[in-house]
A and B are shown apart, each in its own frame.
Chain A
Amino acid sequence: GEDVEQSLFLSVREGDSSVINCTYTDSSSTYLYWYKQEPGAGLQLLTYIFSNMDMKQDQRLTVLLNKKDKHLSLRIADTQTGDSAIYFCAEIPTGNQFYFGTGTSLTVIP
């Protein structure tokens, strides 16, 4: 199966920027996604990027895509305590089946 990898934990101070990284294996994915999961809740789509883009900015969120290295990152500017959650990157290489990363648990320290 596809392999989508993320670091497990990230801790930042409130107001700093957070950068969550992801590597994926299948270069045929048309879209790459970031989902947020708060404790006890479902998966909330944060943002996505088309594979022919290098960067997408959406308010405090910036997604960077390096197709050559199959590396995706999510930058959260001015991180707030409400941003504390698990962040999953995901790809859809074929069909409509999502492959999720292991998830990065972001802790924001006040």
Chain B
Amino acid sequence: EPEVTQTPSHQVTQMGQEVILRCVPISNHLYFYWYRQILGQKVEFLVSFYNNEISEKSEIFDDQFSVERPDGSNFTLKIRSTKLEDSAMYFCASLLRDRGFEQYFGPGTRLTVT
């Protein structure tokens, strides 16, 4: 069964450093997403991406965040200057078609900012 993969599974970084979280969505999917889950809290939407551009983003997704699909298979989330409050689990998801009913999630990357 096709799956979304994410690397690394755990990333530790110092405050102020840049991090790049990587995702490989399912190959024929067209819509891509990043969510985050701060420990003990609900899963929150960050951004959606379609046709090589951001289609929606939340208030959380400020100028410190950016997304890219550099090579047609990877989908990355970059945090330019990490803050302590960026520590969370980050989930990537992909979807085949608009309003399709099954969004596939990756296993997540745990980001720890010290």
A interface residues with partner B (beta carbon < 8 Å) = 4, 30-31, 35, 41-45, 48, 88, 90, 92, 95-103
Contacts and interface: CB of A to CB of B under 8 A. Distances in A.
> Chain A: interface secondary structure?
loop
Interface in B11-43: 31, 33, 35, 41-43
Contact of A97 (B45, B91, B102, B104): B45
Contacts, number: 59
Nearest to A90: B43
B42 A98 contact: no
Given A95-B48, A96-B31, A97-B56, A42 B106 contact: yes
Q: Which of A43, A99, A103 has the most chain B CB atoms closer than 10 A to its own CB?
A: A43
Given A30-B99, A43-B91, A99 B105 contact: no
24 contacts: A41-B107, A42-B107, A42-B108, A43-B105, A45-B105, A48-B101, A88-B43, A90-B43, A95-B55, A95-B56, A96-B55, A96-B56, A96-B95, A96-B100, A96-B103, A97-B45, A97-B48, A98-B35, A98-B43, A98-B103, A99-B45, A100-B35, A101-B42, A103-B43
Contacts of A31: 101
A45 B42 contact: no
Top-5 shortest CB links A-B: A42-B107, A100-B43, A43-B105, A97-B45, A42-B105
Contact of B48 (A45, A96, A101): A96
Contacts of B98: 96
B43 A43 contact: yes
A28 B42 CA distance: 21
Interface of B: 31, 33, 35, 41-45, 48, 55-56, 58, 91, 93, 95, 98-108
Nearest to B3: A42
Q: Which of A41, A96, A102 has the most chain B CB atoms closer than 10 A to its own CB?
A: A96
A98 B102 contact: no
Contacts of A43: 43, 91, 105
Given A97-B48, A97-B56, A103 B42 contact: yes
Contacts of A100: 35, 42-44
